[in-house]
Structure 1
């Protein structure tokens, strides 16, 4: 049996102090009726749901005290054989800054778990993700997902952060299975760490009501959903969490006959400058990459539409309206737009379920490109030498990296095995595994690139949050600890 490997993805060293081995016991959860109905629903939607948990049983069969230090962002093979599925549980104790934490491997469920705090008065939380098929345990810093940006410095360019996003974000309603992309609504997404929203609207001439759509289809079979109502949800979230910033990517789709230029006027006049001008302060519509401090409490507009000349000339001293992503590269592995401000992986044409491996490979490669980026803080005398800067005021190392936008989504309307939730059921776990095991490791990515600040870029997902499973979001947010280690 291979030994267990541990990766420390926190910004502090951990020390493995004790290992105990127990017999395992499988415990059923919920009642028979609920489990049956939810299992059927999960089968139809391809989302993960289990009706059992694995627990340690009785007294420890064996134990050993050790003193194995695992440095921040490092990997350490242990001397302990990995637990045999269905037979035993390995209980591990770790120490961090004098405080003890405990985790069972495998964890009780297939999702991540917050490690048990063993020290009195300790408020720090650590999250463990166990990847059973590789006998691999990753430990991340837990974050308050509703306000995770609070821990990061104002000076960081927004493009340097590891940002979870959702594809066709509001498509959580009863709809055609090829149209629905999300398990939960926008408010719940935001509360659980999502900070990039992909929104498509249909625009009608002489009508500034913008309907939410996915391609040519309405997002709900029970009635039209409107952009204004969704923006009210976003405003309410930002009012509760002023430390956060939300990137909104907006695109015109649907059957409406209005033009991009019409839509740009509707957006400016009603939704940004409306409410007697009170909402204007809620938006960042400049055409360059902001710092986090610039946009806390705001919506950052990423524009996938053209603008009317009157809008362009009236905004930001004629210097543009939003981050320009209007010339979006189609079905691409690594396309550029916005004058190089945005780099996109958006390969979506899946013609058969076996083609999913190509999508997975492209997703991993875009994560690696984002991880390669390195930002050096400018100082009064030039870039910060402590971060590798040369000291020259003209050193290009201080230029913010582009937004690396990485769509994990793909679909084929005519093939049920390639509908959004079924693609997500394959792609999302592969990205969790990559982030835990390979991301930020020199030479471990598909392109063998060097590692800079190890950000993930903007990772745009389908079907997160189903049955409370936010592992992918936690893993993306967790990589911001690399920036905290640099602060």
Structure 2
């Protein structure tokens, strides 16, 4: 029986993460009291990791109603909204959960996707956001991160967080030590191949389009399986999430229910890539367990 808390222990060190089926979560820390259109998970980040999740999607922005350095004690947000009310969920707290999990499960690795959302008043031509992430969150804990730009082998990443960088960096020297570059892909894409990674992130859906979204998820899962059967040079990233703030039927929990009814789990096979889920704890962690099991 698979131990989902330490399932990577059973996989060979030479295996690249791109060859695996990996459960991930969309807006991973959006598991607190918040607007119902903002919440995406019903279990904490620690619970997710202990049930096999190995990709975390974290979006951060400045603290609301703060200025200067105080505003840059980053909080986790979903679009324009905080994922926790009335008190902010700080990025520091989420990363501490990751570090604590890895300290107690040294066979594991966790892919951490970091993205800037919220206010647009960053001077990113001068790497303001990137420099803040480096100086405040990464460099002081550098020994806890895998920061090479390649797709790592498990043996090189065990016990560490792999940075999946969803923000641009202008400084070429810094880019060489700042993790896997996933700074951009086409917005609302059915499939976008960026060379080292392929993404399905069709996210702006209407209630009549959920079946179409389900089809895109199944299609990329099948393509990933066929590709990774003989290759390990691309990461396949497949978002099951989609939302429409103005349509309750397209809020995260409703879309997650539709995904299960639509049978996406029938397309989870060995090498399906990273499947990014909402409400991953549903049905006793069914999707996460099924994805992990395909690796064996």
* TM-score greater than 0.5 by the shorter chain: yes
- The one of 208, 223, 233 aligned to 1:369: 223
Structure 1 unmatched ranges of 5 or more: 1-124, 126-142, 377-396, 441-453, 482-487
- The one of 252, 258, 265 aligned to 2:131: 265
**Structure with the higher helix share, 1 or 2:** 2
- The one of 241, 254, 259 aligned to 1:422: 254
Give the Cα–Cα distance (whole angstroms) in 1 for the partners of residues 258 and 229 of structure 2.
33
Instruction: Check if 1:478 corresponds to 2:296.
Output: no
2:85 match: 221
RMSD in angstroms over aligned alpha carbons?
A: 1.8
1:224 Cα shift? 0.9
Instruction: Check if 1:463 corresponds to 2:279.
Output: yes
Determine helix, strand or coil for the equivalent of 1:254. Answer: coil
2:24 match: 165
Structure 2 unmatched ranges of 5 or more: none
**Residues 102-117 of structure 1: pairs in structure 2 closer than 5 A:** none
**Structure with the higher strand share, 1 or 2:** 1
- Residue-pair matches, total: 289
Please list every run of at least 4 consecutive aligned residues from structure 1 whose deviation after the TM superposition is greater than 6 angstroms.
none
- The one of 406, 410, 414 aligned to 2:242: 410
Determine helix, strand or coil for the equivalent of 2:193. Answer: strand
- The one of 240, 253, 257 aligned to 2:104: 240
Give the Cα–Cα distance (whole angstroms) in 1 for the partners of residues 238 and 265 of structure 2.
16
Task: Report if aligned partners of 1:201, 1:211 keep a CA contact under 8 Å in 2.
Answer: yes
Determine helix, strand or coil for the equivalent of 1:301. Answer: strand
Task: Report if aligned partners of 2:56, 2:111 keep a CA contact under 8 Å in 1.
Answer: yes
- The one of 206, 216, 233 aligned to 1:351: 206
The one of the two structures with greater contact order (alpha-carbon pairs below 8 A, sep at least 6) is 2
- The one of 178, 184, 187 aligned to 1:330: 187
Determine helix, strand or coil for the equivalent of 1:422. Answer: helix
Of structures 1 and 2, the larger Rg is shown by 1
Q: Deviations over 1:167-218 (max 9, x none)?
A: 0000011111111111111010001000000010004754541111001111
Give the Cα–Cα distance (whole angstroms) in 1 for the partners of residues 120 and 73 of structure 2.
11
**Residues 86-235 of structure 1: pairs in structure 2 closer than 5 A:** 125=1, 143-203=2-62, 206-207=69-70, 208-235=72-99
Give the Cα–Cα distance (whole angstroms) in 2 for the partners of residues 308 and 228 of structure 1.
24
TM-score under structure 2 normalisation?
0.92
TM-score under structure 1 normalisation?
0.57
